[in-house]
Structure 1
Amino acid sequence: MFALLPSAWMIRLKKVGYWIWLIPVFGIPLSYFWSYGSDSPNAWAWLVIGVVFGIIPLLDFVVGRDPANPDEQTEVPELERQGYYRLLSLATVPLLLGMLVYGGWVIAHYDVWNWLGKLGWILSVGTVMGAIGITVSHELIHKDPALEQNAGGLLLAAVCYAGFKVEHVRGHHVNVSTPEDASSARFGQSLYAFLPHAYKHNFLNAWRLEAERLKRKGLPALHWRNELIWWYAISLAFLIGFSLAFGWIGAVYFLGQSAMAFTLLEIVNYVEHYGLHRRKQENGRYERTTPKHSWNSNFLLTNLFLFHLQRHSDHHAYAKRRYQVLRHFDDSPQLPNGYAGMIVLALFPPLWRAVMDPKVRAYYAGEEHQLTASQLA
């Protein structure tokens, strides 16, 4: 639909279009209000889940792709100078935290929902905190200003996954698409085998990396300058606050939405790197990370929702680039749908492998020396 528009037009369109993240955020209170007087109030609690994972994958095909890249000499410098884009990402923080508190109030005081409605509400809030909150935190923790670093850390603390702030930047980006990376899914590995490994090792790797940083400064791991201690303390403060304000259901709500949010993050990690790997060179080191080592998805709609996260190939090759100037590369491996649709596909391993395994093999055609025996089978 937008594939033939000039790059300058697409930039102007997306400048406004990035505000589409407000739709799932305001979808939370709307689903609550629309359940009033409904014959099926529990169903409304699942509204956001249904839209994100049911309607958006279909709309991705209707809206189509966005192949336009900003011009490196003229448009990129101008886009990077504009504080508008930085303000836009930071604006998500107070609104998401406000939505989180509002969600706790609703689940504690709205007695129309039974356990099914409450479950849908928790998972819906967790979906927004994962899809929007963790996506924005990912953008912010890659940037140098302390304001953005701290804002990104706060969003991660709000979903009990602060280790991502350390492990993702210092671990995942170093080891991506290698056996050393817990966030890079192996060829043939199911989502359900990947998730427990990712949870465990990303947590442990974060503590190891922070301990190594402190050791270089001559400090012990359990030191007040260990940033993980502070971020997890903030998570604990959130839990205590929700418990005091809303009782036991507030604690269940906070922990439940956190689990949904960081699980969504790890499913996206699974999608982003499945089956891809970097060559090991004669000196024992892996080749430099390039746009060929991450799956790219250039569907316009989900890219607007996710602040260009789906232009993941460019992000891994040039991690400091801000979201508004990330580029699409035709020669990167391409996903057949946006992340919402690929997440649904990943939940069904036989379907996932039927779609993705041929794509991995086709991508390495002519370079079969990169493939393992299982990939060649």
Structure 2
Amino acid sequence: MSTTQLSVNREATRRRILLTLKKYSYLIAMVPLLLPPLLLAAGQATDLVNLFSWGVPVVVFGIIPVLDMLLGKDSLNPDEETDVPRMVGERFYKAITLGWVAGFAALLVWSMLELASGTFSLVGSIGWIVSIGIVGGLGINVAHELIHKDEKLETRAGGFLLSLVCYAGFKVEHLRGHHVHVSTPEDASSSRYNQSLYNFLPQAYMRNFLNAWKLEAERLQRKGHKALSWRNELIWWYSISALALAGFTIAFGWLGAVFFLGQSFIAFTLLEIVNYLEHYGLHRRKLENGRYERTGPEHSWNSN
């Protein structure tokens, strides 16, 4: 065997080992679910529970960005032709995303029990709700991946996760609206140049909600069905949100309602803040035929 061939084989073996290690590094995705109990334990151990109740935003917006900067860019990516098809069929990755959905549902119940137990002061309670909401906001990223899948189990799991933060319309509007109209005035989640965040957010909430119902009604109409029927998936998803709200309210009173709605508001607000930053001031040119130019990397600030 030639020296060149040995070098190629050695590099292939090295790359395979690194990809295997990277595979298990995706378990880091579960860390947000562990942050609240770990921070609560730290707060109880130091008698600083109300301070540590605000720990999630400190970790997510402070510690993690610093670590990301120190670790640098990861240039090891799976090969689209050889690695990705194999990875798609692996249950390991599916277990992470589906496990996240179950984990967040459990986290909501546990977090509410802690809140209802009188563990926190008023300021600590607010911090706790904000912290759980940020975890939910990160969970929308998981839901985003799930609703892009083909299998019904995964897309429904994504819808369920979105229902737990009262933003199920994202499942419809993102796929059928945002992907079509991104970086145009028609897109509810694309901010315009000189538009403030405070002006953008209320519009994004309302337009995303209304667009989702409009798009679902159009889908059903094309199939000859009425918009207000059992076939309307938004009715099912928002029913889950309503049932969850009712369950928390019945079990914990007004505090349960405040907790569920509060964490939901923080979660979907975090999503829309990200949308505001991703597409701020970017727009696609309108062509002579009335259509917009094809979407490209230049239409999103986070494109690599």
Give the TM-score of the pair, scaled to structure 2: 0.91
Q: Is the 8 A contact 1:157 1:234 kept in 2?
A: yes
Q: Aligned in 2, Cα 1:267/1:7: closer, same or farther, shift over 3 Å?
A: farther
Q: Which residue of 2 aligns with 1:123?
A: 130
1:158 is matched with which residue: 142, 157, 164?
164
Q: Partners in 1 of 2:78 and 2:273 — Cα distance?
A: 29
Aligned mate of 1:35, from 12, 22, 43 = 43
Tell me if structure 2 keeps the 8 A contact 1:160–1:235: yes
Equivalent residue for 2:282?
276
1:225 pairs, out of 213, 228, 231, with: 231
> Where do residues 331-370 of structure 1 align in structure 2 (5 Å cutoff)?
none
The amino acid across from 1:286 in the alignment is Y
- The alpha carbon displacement at 1:7 in A equals 5.9
Shift of 1:75: 1.9
- The structure-2 alpha-carbon separation of the partners of 1:226 and 1:188, relative to structure 1 and needing over 3 Å to count, comes to same
Unmatched 5+ stretches in structure 2: 1-13
Q: 1:262 to 1:10 in 2, by over 3 A?
A: farther
Instruction: Determine the structure 1 residue equivalent to 2:32.
Output: 24
The separation in 2 between residues aligned to 1:144 and 1:120, in whole angstroms, is: 37
Answer whether contact 1:239 1:255 (CA < 8 A) is retained: yes
Question: Corresponding residue for 1:196?
Answer: 202
Q: Larger relative CO (CA 8 A, sep 6+): 1 or 2?
A: 1
C-alpha distance in structure 1 between counterparts of 2:41 and 2:76, whole Å: 39
Q: 1:69 to 1:281 in 2, by over 3 A?
A: farther
The structure with the largest alpha-carbon Rg is 2
Deviation at 1:257, TM superposition (A): 0.4
**Distance in 1 (alpha carbons) for counterparts of 2:71 and 2:224:** 54
1:82 matches 2:90:
yes
Amino acid in the other structure paired with 1:116: V
1:9–1:64 distance in 2 versus 1, CA, 3 Å: farther
**Partner SS, residue 284 of structure 1:** coil
Number of corresponding residues = 291
Write the letter of the residue equivalent to 2:95. Answer: L
String of CA shifts for 1:151-178, please: whole Å, max 9, x gaps: 0000000001111011000000010111
Counterpart CA distance in 2 for 1:271 and 1:68 is 27
Contact preservation (8 Å) 2:30, 2:96: no
Distance 1:98 1:104 in 2: 10
Instruction: Give the equivalent residue in structure 1 for 2:140.
Output: 134
Give the SS at the match of 1:36: helix
- Structure 2 distance, partners of 1:67, 1:58, is 19
Change (3 A) 1:273 1:112: same
Contact 1:7 1:69 in 2 (8 A): no
Q: Aligned with 1:185: secondary structure?
A: coil
Question: Amino acid of the residue matched to residue 74 of structure 1?
Answer: T
Measured on the aligned residues, the alpha-carbon RMSD in Å equals: 1.7
- The whole-number CA distance in structure 2 between the counterparts of 1:234 and 1:9 is 43
Identity percentage of aligned residues: 59
Q: Partners of 1:130 and 1:295 in 2: how far apart? A: 20
Pairing of 1:274-353 with structure 2 (within 5 A):
274-296=280-302, 313=303, 329=304
Compute the displacement of 1:11 (Å).
3.0
Structure 1: unaligned runs, 5 residues or longer? 1-5, 297-312, 314-328, 330-377
The answer to whether structure 1 residue 174 and structure 2 residue 195 are counterparts is no
Does 1:68 find its partner at 2:68?
no
Instruction: State the distance in 1 between where 2:97 and 2:63 align.
Output: 25
Q: Distance in 2 between matches of 1:260 and 1:47?
A: 15
- Tell me, yes or no, if the aligned pair for 1:35 and 1:42 is still in contact at 8 Å: yes
